[in-house]
Structure 1
Amino acid sequence: MSDFHVEQQEAFTVLGIQKELTSNYTDFAGLAAEKQAFWQIINENGQLERLKMLAISDELFFVNEAVDNKMMYYVGVRADKMDSKADRLIQFPVGEYVVVLSQGDDTYSLSESVINETFGSVLGQVSGYAYVGGPNGVSITGSGDNLNAKMFVPVVQQ
């Protein structure tokens, strides 16, 4: 089980490469396959490395967001301006967030693991707060087999 808490978070922006997820939101295998294929493509074609050159921190983000009634998935970096190497600037507003911490040894697998645990278990354990929608994302830091994940889910007090 991952550690989690609620904390006040300053606003930040993620510059992301996007993928529209077309599987039904309850088709977890289909969504996982789409995300995995996207991760593989951006690693193989150099998009991810080009994006990392624009980062203002060493964090790599995996972001989920509903945009115009579409499920969007982004791989991104913390940035403060738009660039042609990316598709979107994703705004994480100032506010309260459930923050879920985890560790692992594979970037993509760790991100998926903490997302699944957060929405499958953790949010049900957080009392007095409700998820408000908006972007949620996982920040991965570290290297090799010593990776740290920090999931951000915006919430409001009930």
Structure 2
Amino acid sequence: MANYTIEEKASFTVLGFGVELKSDYTDFMGIAKEKAAFLAQAQADGTIDRLKKVALNDDFFIVNEAINNKMMYYVGVMSKETLPEATRLIQFPKGDYLVIPGEGSTSEELSNNLTNLAFGKVLGEVSEVAYVGGPNTSVEKGTRDGMFIGEMWLPVVKQ
């Protein structure tokens, strides 16, 4: 049985820079390549650094969202400020969230591990709640013993 909790969270907003993923939603290799390319570009062009400068805390978000029949992928932070070139303010509703802890040797590996754990294992094991769609996010919380640590947050409803 996977390690997870169900937590009530207040609504929150993530200031994000994003990209539309063009691969078919069943093309996991294509999606992974697009995500990796976007993350590398966001690191190289200073997008991630700009976001972290306006962040309210140390949490760093990698968000998946289906919007207007498009698969969107964002990097972001909680912020009271805005950046004019930001792609979107991503609204997360108040409610119950399935929270899954994990780790990875890089930020990207952490996000991939959390996503795979959530959608490949935990959601199949959990019977008391159901994922309702909407934005989901991996949240990088920091490092410990050289590893990136974080959580996956999925909005859910009780069954």
**TM above 0.5:** yes
1:104 match? 104
Conservation of the 8 A alpha-carbon contact between 2:103 and 2:113:
no
| Cα deviation code 1:120-145 (max 9, x no counterpart) | 11111111211111100010021372
Conservation of the 8 A alpha-carbon contact between 1:2 and 1:102:
no
1:115 match? 115
- Distance in 2 separating the partners of 1:2 and 1:127: 13
2:62 match? 62
Q: Which runs of 5+ in 1 are unaligned?
A: none
Query: 1:73-112 counterparts in 2 under 5 A?
Result: 73-112=73-112
Q: Which moved more, 1:9-18 or 1:26-35?
A: 9-18
Q: TM-score, normalised by structure 1?
A: 0.94
1:17: how far off?
0.5
Structure 1 counterpart of 2:82, which letter? Answer: M
SS in 1 for 2:58: coil
Identity of aligned residues (%): 47
- Distance in 2 separating the partners of 1:96 and 1:75: 22
Conservation of the 8 A alpha-carbon contact between 2:2 and 2:121:
no
Conservation of the 8 A alpha-carbon contact between 1:132 and 1:156:
yes
| Cα deviation code 1:107-158 (max 9, x no counterpart) | 1111111111101111111112111111000100213723211111011112
Aligned Cα root-mean-square deviation (Å): 1.4
Q: Which moved more, 1:22-31 or 1:44-53?
A: 44-53
1:81: how far off?
4.5
Q: How many residues align?
A: 158
> 1:82–1:92: structure 2 CA closer, same or farther, 3 Å change rule?
same
